Amino acid sequence: MQSSRAVVFIALATAFSLLGDQMLYAVVPTHYAAFGLMPYQVGLILSVNRWVRLVANTFAEKLCQRYSVTGLLIAALILGGALTAVYGVVTSFFVLLIARMLWGLSWSFIRQIGLMTVVETSPPAVIGQRMGYYNGISRLGSVGGNLGGGLAHDVIGFTVALFLFSIISLVGTPLGWLARRAVSRESGNGGKVEDAGWMPELMICGFVIGCVGPGIVMSTLGAVLVENVGTSLTVLGVVIGAATLNGALLSSRWVVDALGAPFLGHISDRLGRRWSAVGYFGVGVLALLFASTVSHAGWWMACVVVFFMCGVGATVVMTAESGLRGSRSVAGYVTASDLGSATGPMLGWMTQQMSLSSDWIFLIGSGMYAIGTLVVLCSRRLRYEAPQPLARV
């Protein structure tokens, strides 16, 4: 497998920027009372950044076409690192809400420029593999924020941990500059071409991927665990709490991304994006269906991990396809995915509000992945296309 300096640099810069954001998801839901927050305030703080991105993604794409991409990336990385420190010292809900909105804006620029950097430096024959490297390396930030952030909170405290993550994020900022500098030397796609624009199939698949994985499944996993295994599970004589199991399963999503994304992307380069996407969506359907029927905890958790693998593969394939269609397509795809990840939790928790069995969570997810499978099967437009590079290095 092949990677590139630009891909590695931009992926590491992205990973460092995610540390503070991902720590909030690990710590705030379990300690919100100590921070003086109400439950609904926690929901707003952890989701408002996604809603902001529904507008900010297109805004970021437009600015990247008009102004220096390197300057915008550095500004976004610095803002993200500074906001991580703000989380550690501010207790006002409204200030935190504004900070999270600014992080959503910052992340729109980081992700847009990161994805297009990968596309600009990747020959079409290895775009899936390169996108897999980017996803895998960048999601090390999620693993570090979730696991390392929780541990750091318990050992050195919330504020000190976030200040430490803020410093790490800011120290990683020059990697963004190095990545953009390497673009001109590693360009794998030639000169500027006309942007292919949005593709409805990509928008639908992006919504499905975001809605089912980060939305429905990950947001309700704790509730499903309690219903299926109770408040604890005994393994080889060791009692493991539901919260620990939930954290381990959630982290497995990012571990699969970090370790498996390059390989899954490589498969898509060999099989073609259309048929590999059909495989990822199709196996995801089966995994969720099986999870809705099994009662043994081991089989159930194995189904969840298999589904996470399928979600990673589908994400790599569709991100690569959107990138090869140009920057507008990237902005449209990630916006559809963000809309899905923002609405998914509401769909998942609606089943709990209606006192339905947790099996319905998996059945709904399976049905949506089936729609994704049909959309890809019916599409004849998943093909290699030259991308539109960002306007200015």
What is the predicted pLDDT for the residue at 187?
Answer: 63
CA 342 to chain centre: 12
Which pLDDT score, from 0 to 100, does residue 119 have? 87
Given this model, what pLDDT does residue 13 score? 96
pLDDT at 195: 57
Q: How far apart are alpha carbons 28 and 42 in whole angstroms?
A: 7
DSSP string across 310-359: HHHHHHHHHHHHHHHT-HHHHHHHHHHHHHHHHHHHHHHHHHHHTT--TH
- φ and ψ at residue 249, rounded to 5 degrees: -65, -40
* Main-chain dihedrals φ then ψ at residue 72, nearest 5 degrees: -65, -40
Rounded to two decimals, the pTM is 0.81
pLDDT confidence of residue 173: 95
pLDDT computed for residue 126 by the predictor: 84
Fold category of 5-186 in CATH: Growth Hormone; Chain: A; (1.20.1250)
Q: Which spans in 139-241 are helix H?
A: 140-143, 149-156, 158-171, 173-186, 200-210, 218-229
* pLDDT score for 237: 61
Q: Which fold has domain 200-378?
A: Growth Hormone; Chain: A; (1.20.1250)
Question: H-helix or E-strand containing 193?
Answer: none
Question: pLDDT (tens digit, 0 to 9) for every residue of the chain, 393 residues total?
Answer: 455 889 999 999 999 999 999 888 777 766 777 778 787 787 788 788 888 999 999 999 899 989 999 999 999 999 999 999 999 888 788 999 999 999 999 999 999 999 989 988 888 788 888 888 898 899 889 888 877 877 787 788 888 989 999 999 999 999 999 999 888 776 655 444 345 556 788 899 999 999 998 888 887 777 777 777 665 566 666 666 665 666 677 778 878 888 888 888 888 888 888 889 999 999 999 999 999 888 777 788 899 899 999 999 999 999 888 888 888 888 889 999 999 988 888 788 787 777 777 788 899 999 999 999 999 988 776 654 444 455 455
* Distance between start and end Cα atoms, the chain: 27
Provide CATH 1.20.1250.20 ranges for the chain: 5-186, 200-378
pLDDT of residue 247: 67
Confidence at residue 387, expressed as pLDDT on a 0 to 100 scale: 44
